[in-house]
Amino acid sequence: MNGFYGRYLKIDLTDETFDLLPLNDKILLTYLGGKGLASHLLYSINPPGVDPMSPGNCLIFATGPITNSRIWGSSRYGVYTKSPQTGLYSESYAGGKVPEAIDSSGFDAIVVTGKSKRPSVLLVHPDGAEFFDASDIWGLDTYETEDTVNRKYGHVDFGPEKSGAVVIGPAGENRVRFSVIENDYWRSAGRTGVGAVMGSKHLKAIVFKGDKRRSLFDAKGVKRFSNKIAVESKNNPVVKAYKAMGTPVMVEKINQAKAFPTKYWSEGFFDQWEKLSAEALHRQCRVQPRACAKCFIACGRLTTVLNGRHAGLMIEGPEYETIFAFGGLCMIDSLEEIVYLNDICDRLGMDTISAGNLCGLTIEAVRKNKIDVHIDYGDVDAIAGLLKKIAARQGIGDILARGIKYAAKIWNMEDMAVHVKGLEPPGYDPRVLKGSGLAFAVSDRGACHLRATFHNPELKGISDPEITKGKAELLIDFEDRLILMDAFILCRFFRDIYPWDHLSRIIEMTTGLKADKAALQKIAFEISTLTRCFNIREGLKPEDDHLPKRFYKEMLNTGHIIKETDLTAMLKEYYCLRGWNENGVPK
């Protein structure tokens, strides 16, 4: 079938063996690639009830039928596993240039199982895999690791052959439950602790190499379509905004909506937000737009700090979510200091959203006399010290490294801790954006803004954020389209560029599959049912589809609150429309 390699690679780290296995057309037509195929493999191969940190838990890398093609937004890969943060379904995506190297190795998916006896590096290429000792690089930060493994095992920069690496830092090695997998220095598969699973396997890095390309059903059509999209998108206001200012543009919008989580979720507005805005970033630092391969939006910011104690420090970022997590939740009113904390997280390999949330929880624990530690809102150095302790699992850091559910229990702060299913939310307060509250509650991977990006229609006024009745129907439309984008795999920021009919054209031009909106929705339905069944098999309970109690009880000073009865009513509608019973179980 066009658009697919029709095979996947299964690697066993325990005995250092691999198998090249076929994928039949029926599976590919039912689930496509990316999230669809990987969810099918995860459900089929993972032993039910497996400990996420045990050798039996699979770590799956996947690209999709459009990867390495001329389709804009297509340089992206996904990682899928059982999450050590939630104990449930885990997916995380990253862009950059490395996704095209992963795809060039010539597999629809790479499944890694087992546990290496020694720290190791994997080399994946079209003929299979090779295993190398990584004892000499165990302990290096993510940037050093990427440089070293690319130098040792990569070295391709010309012709049809591509190469690139995904790596973990010390946090992943130490199985910090919210550690990330990184590539291209600053691009992270950031959420749900995929780096911890890689670390539990003693796997420091995977280098991908190859010259394979997917055969396209209509390559000329893809070229024409992509040229047309580039011309049409030139004056798109969303594209222009992200290109000019990157995701920090959201700081102003979310503060204006009074939905900017501040002081560990106790306020929805940060009175110092202007110091954290996109304008401040571009005024105070040297900032260059930076793009993944096959992208004209270039939402990335290559930022160099110009003044102060961090002058000369350069990162790609900070993204809106990092600004909210350290700026809002921990009340740090300096972008240069947020760049500094961002750099620490990137080097150590930790998710900034979870890290900021956990630092905020720790500050509240101190203020409520639950623990005796010197840290407070705005105290950058204490927060930096805490991040390092988490990565090294030292003292209080060891408690936080085990995730928010564990820390909240130990500190008797379960009513205060903000998470859904064990994953801390991103920067959109669901007391203001109520449909986003439903999206957080039902997302497979815990509190997540990316499964539906429902803050987008609520902020734009397409869906009134205060109205809860009828919300589920629109949410499902968003979710289903984005499930498809994750099966293709496409970058989220192209959601406004590719409506349903464009997705139909893309899948036909790449694979030959004729699928109108209804047919694509059927594929999304199969995938969402599968991931829901995975979660139920792994112990998901109806009460897990809820928001933290604080959101039902604590009103923001703007008067915003979300009633538990409203969330329950939205859930009921959602289950019904998904074809699930009253407990959220697919019929």
Figure out which of the listed residues 292, 339, 358, 484 binds ligand SF4, where binding follows CB under 6 A: 292
What whole-number distance in Å separates Cα of residue 138 and Cα of residue 446? 31
Within 350-389, the residues that bind ligand SF4 by CB under 6 A are none
Question: What b-and-e string marks burial along 40-53, b requiring 16 or more CB atoms within 10 Å of the CB?
Answer: bbbeeebeeeeebb
Residue 333 backbone dihedrals phi, psi, to 5 degrees: -100, 30
3-state SS, residue 274: helix
Q: What length does the chain have?
A: 587
**Which DSSP symbol is given to 14?**
T
What whole-number distance in Å separates Cα of residue 146 and Cα of residue 156? 14
Query: To which residue do tokens 């010259």 refer?
Result: 211
Q: Closest CB to ligand SF4 among 27 and 491?
A: 491
Counting residues that bind ligand SF4 (by CB under 6 A) gives 11
What whole-number distance in Å separates Cα of residue 338 and Cα of residue 325? 9
Least Cβ distance, residue 193 to ligand SF4 (angstroms): 21
Axis crossing angle, helix 517-537 with helix 500-511, rounded to the nearest 10: 90
What whole-number distance in Å separates Cα of residue 391 and Cα of residue 349? 8
Least Cβ distance, residue 246 to ligand SF4 (angstroms): 8
Least Cβ distance, residue 188 to ligand SF4 (angstroms): 11
Residue 364 backbone dihedrals phi, psi, to 5 degrees: -65, -35
**Does the footprint of ligand SF4 cover residue 276 (CB under 6 A)?**
no
Within 470-509, the residues that bind ligand SF4 by CB under 6 A are 491, 493
Least Cβ distance, residue 275 to ligand SF4 (angstroms): 24
Cβ-contact 200, 114 below 8 angstroms: no
Least Cβ distance, residue 245 to ligand SF4 (angstroms): 12
Nearest Cα neighbor of 112 from 33, 17, 12 is 12
Taking residue 367's Cβ as centre, other Cβ atoms within 10 Å add up to: 12
**Does the footprint of ligand SF4 cover residue 295 (CB under 6 A)?**
yes
Least Cβ distance, residue 72 to ligand SF4 (angstroms): 8
Q: Assess whether the previous peptide bond of 297 is cis (omega < 30° from 0).
A: no
**Does the footprint of ligand SF4 cover residue 297 (CB under 6 A)?**
yes
**Does the footprint of ligand SF4 cover residue 238 (CB under 6 A)?**
no
Q: Closest CB to ligand SF4 among 17 and 227?
A: 227
Figure out which of the listed residues 95, 106, 190, 360 binds ligand SF4, where binding follows CB under 6 A: 95
**Does the footprint of ligand SF4 cover residue 248 (CB under 6 A)?**
no
Contact partners, residue 232, CB within 8 Å, separation at least 6:
none
Q: Closest CB to ligand SF4 among 23 and 491?
A: 491
Least Cβ distance, residue 81 to ligand SF4 (angstroms): 22
Q: Closest CB to ligand SF4 among 140 and 250?
A: 250
Cβ-contact 59, 77 below 8 angstroms: no
Axis crossing angle, helix 500-511 with helix 471-488, rounded to the nearest 10: 20
Q: Assess whether the previous peptide bond of 318 is cis (omega < 30° from 0).
A: yes
Q: Closest CB to ligand SF4 among 295 and 363?
A: 295
Binding span for ligand SF4 by CB under 6 A among 206-214, 288-296, 351-359, 569-577: 288-296
Query: To which residue do tokens 């995977």 refer?
Result: 206
Figure out which of the listed residues 140, 167, 299, 416 binds ligand SF4, where binding follows CB under 6 A: 299
Q: Closest CB to ligand SF4 among 493 and 552?
A: 493
Binding span for ligand SF4 by CB under 6 A among 18-26, 295-303, 431-439, 496-504: 295-303
Binding span for ligand SF4 by CB under 6 A among 136-144, 196-204, 294-302, 350-358: 294-302
**Does the footprint of ligand SF4 cover residue 291 (CB under 6 A)?**
yes
**Does the footprint of ligand SF4 cover residue 298 (CB under 6 A)?**
yes
Contact partners, residue 71, CB within 8 Å, separation at least 6:
222, 225, 226, 294, 490, 506, 510
Both tokens assigned to 127: 């003929």
Binding span for ligand SF4 by CB under 6 A among 27-35, 293-301, 392-400, 506-514: 293-301
> 388: buried, middle or exposed (CB in 10 Å: 19+, 13-18, 0-12)?
middle
Least Cβ distance, residue 172 to ligand SF4 (angstroms): 22
Query: To which residue do tokens 């110091």 refer?
Result: 275
Q: Closest CB to ligand SF4 among 49 and 499?
A: 499
Binding span for ligand SF4 by CB under 6 A among 296-304, 314-322, 324-332, 427-435: 296-304
Site string for ligand SF4, 46-75 (x = CB under 6 A): ---------------------------x--
Binding span for ligand SF4 by CB under 6 A among 261-269, 291-299, 354-362, 551-559: 291-299
What whole-number distance in Å separates Cα of residue 75 and Cα of residue 68? 7
3-state SS, residue 459: helix
Site string for ligand SF4, 387-416 (x = CB under 6 A): ------------------------------
Figure out which of the listed residues 64, 210, 300, 318 binds ligand SF4, where binding follows CB under 6 A: 300
Binding span for ligand SF4 by CB under 6 A among 268-276, 289-297, 464-472, 476-484: 289-297
Taking residue 217's Cβ as centre, other Cβ atoms within 10 Å add up to: 17
The count of C-alpha atoms lying within 13 angstroms of the C-alpha of 358, restricted to the half-sphere facing its C-beta, is: 32
Q: Residues interacting with ligand SF4, by CB under 6 A? A: 73, 95, 291-292, 295, 297-300, 491, 493
